Amino acid sequence: MEAVDVPVEQGSGRSRSWRHRLDFGRADGVEIRSDGGEPVAVPSLGEVAIEAAAFTADGSRLFAAGMAPDVHVIDPSSAAVIDTVPDVAGRVTGLAVSPDGGSLVTAGPPADVPWSDDEVRVHRLADLAWSPDGRWVAMNLEHAHGGGEVRTMSAGLPARPPAELRAPAAA
C-alpha cells in the first residue's frame, strides 16, 4: 500500500458530485464554494446559525436549517434562497432530503415545547407534477381515513378556445 497526499478541502459538507462544498455551523449562515472557486455567502439567511444541510442527488438544490423553525431551499449555483419550508420545528437539529428533493426529513423539538426531545418529521414537498406541455397538473391526495388517489386537472388556457370565444367563420 502506498501513501498518497490528498489536498485539504475547505468546508463541512459537499454535494455528491463534489461540485459544491459548503461551510456552516457558525453564526453567520452558510457559504457555498462551487467548482473550487471562492466561497459565496447566502445573503438572505442573515445571522441564522445553520446546523444541518443536505443536497439533492443531482446537487441542484441545497436544504439548510438550524437555529430557526424554517428550512431554506437554496440554489447552490447562485447562492440564492429559492424557497422556504416554514415552521418544521422549534429549531432544526438535523435534516435529510430525498435524492429527487420530493421529501424532506427533519429533526428538532416542536415549536410549542422547545425544551423537549427532538421529533422526526417527514415533509412531502412534491405532491404536484406538471405535464410536459404545462397544460395539466397531477395531484397526489391522501385521505385522512386512509388510502388516496391521483387527480389530474387542466391548468392554463385550453388548446382551442370555447365556441363562444372563437371568431365567426369567414364567409
Is 70 exceeded by the pLDDT of residue 17?
Answer: yes
What are the beta bridge partners of residue 141? 149
Residue pair 75/59 in contact (Cβ under 8 Å)? The answer is: no
Question: What's the whole-number mean pLDDT along residues 56-65?
Answer: 88
pLDDT (0 to 100) of residue 27? 59
Is 70 exceeded by the pLDDT of residue 46?
Answer: no
Strand order in the sheet with 62-66: 50-55, 62-66, 71-75, 80-85
In the DSSP assignment, the letter for residue 114 is: T
% pLDDT > 90, the chain: 1
Distances (CA, A) of 170 to 159, 164, 166, 167: 21, 15, 12, 9
Is 70 exceeded by the pLDDT of residue 47?
Answer: no
Question: What's the whole-number mean pLDDT along residues 140-167?
Answer: 69
pLDDT digits (tens, 9 = 90+) for 138-152: 766 666 677 777 777
Is 80 exceeded by the pLDDT of residue 131?
Answer: no
Q: Whole-angstrom Cα distance, residue 139 to residue 30?
A: 34
Q: Whole-angstrom Cα distance, residue 105 to residue 85?
A: 11
**Confidence label for 85 from pLDDT (cuts 50, 70 and 90):** confident
Higher-pLDDT residue of 130 and 5 is 5
pLDDT digits (tens, 9 = 90+) for 66-76: 888 889 898 88
Is 60 exceeded by the pLDDT of residue 156?
Answer: no
Ordered structural domains, the chain, with CATH:
13-125 (2.130.10.10), 127-166 (no CATH)
Alpha helices in the chain (DSSP H): none
Q: Is the pTM of this model over 0.85?
A: no
How big, in percent rounded to 5, are the helix, strand and coil portions of the chain? 5, 40, 55
Lowest-pLDDT range, 15-29, 43-57, 100-114? 15-29
